[in-house]
Chains A and B, each alone.
Chain A
Amino acid sequence: MRPVAAKLTEIDNRTSVGHSLWLTPCSGWEEQPEPGQFVMVALPHPPAGFGREVCDAVPMSVAGWEPGRLRLTIKDLGPTSAALLACRPGDMLAVTGPLGHGFSLDARQPLLMGGGVGAPPLLFLAQQLAASGIDPVTLLGGTTVDEIFHREEFPGIVEIATDDGSAGHHGFVTELLDGRSPDLLYSCGPEPMLVKGLEWALANGIRAELCLERYMPCGVGLCGVCTIDRQLVCQDGPVLGSEQLEHSAEFGKVVREAGGVVRHAPA
């Protein structure tokens, strides 16, 4: 596995917020990745107006795929993502992947719950489920309506929650869980939301698959910085099952920053 040059071939603005890029790598990407898998993306050269410090590799979930090309949805979260948003068709990136283990496609009556920038991998999952004849129900949450990614693109039923009430339910997306009885909960988004999702799933005897995010220096299971308990998020995850997280001492509590410095989540 190594970084492969990829051309930005299309900026896809079907999503009402953020920015979606279609990348065509110089080789590979003929086989479909698993929804939930990710890539390490790096800018080989800084776009105009940016310094070399934006040329770092960052993990990003695959938001969509067609033979020979992949889709990434970018939110402006830091200098590297800001630089990615400044890229134009024809620009080149370096892409390593697909990496890690994605979502299973085992559900018959799936419930998807996405928060903020957790929606893109769930869009790819929903599209794969729909393609196999399964109707997903999707709950999407965000702080405000402009933080709901891809809402128009999800197949099946979509319900919205916003913290400020600007669209859908006024409150957290997790408040839309009660009363539902899926056979599997798929979720991606902020960790406090995932923690609540896991608690709800365990309390209701429902299996959950959660797509996690951690600081990842290598992405390929070599360095070990992204561990949660004994599991490598880049290798065993990023999608981990409820059985792998149920007894975790670190899920929802501990994340690491550059250098492996521990940062404890606020209680």
Chain B
Amino acid sequence: MKFFENNCTFEYSWRDVSIANWRKYCAWNDRCSHVIAVDTVSRRVEPSTGVLITERLITCKQSVPKWLLRFIGGTEVSYVHEISEVSRENQTVTMRSTNLTCAHILSVQETVIYSPDKDHPETKTNFSQHAQITAYGAFSRICNTIEDWSVERFDQNAKKGREGFERVLRMSREAFAELKADVSKIPEVISS
């Protein structure tokens, strides 16, 4: 079993981050081309807590080294199941995901939490990512190699994920500013 951890801070409010998070894998994000589709399978607001629970299926296409392809049966498309919870009251977004593909060989369990920064709750948002990676098999050496490869890939994707998400946040802010500028022009048009 191996662990992966990653923490960073985004210079945007929790509100902005939580909105942009739904757009994380859109065309604005040119760094996450390994995610080819994101489907919402179910969604509900828990009546007692007001928490928004969303279940998604994420489709990825990644280049996998030949030695690993032999173990996983030759497929490069893989699926990830994600359950997320947004608590307005606690101002947290918690996303838990697991791999559906090759689950008998490798288990990857990831938890991501977005929460307001303690010192700058209005302007900054903390991102924390934690993953537990376990390879199953009779040969511990092979398991170790698979686990190491997965951790390394996690690290690469985390870096790309951050860069891509920064771009989505920036584009969202710009789009919103343009929208506001357009709205402010309306009275002029009407009065003229």
Q: Answer yes or no: do A and B interact.
A: no
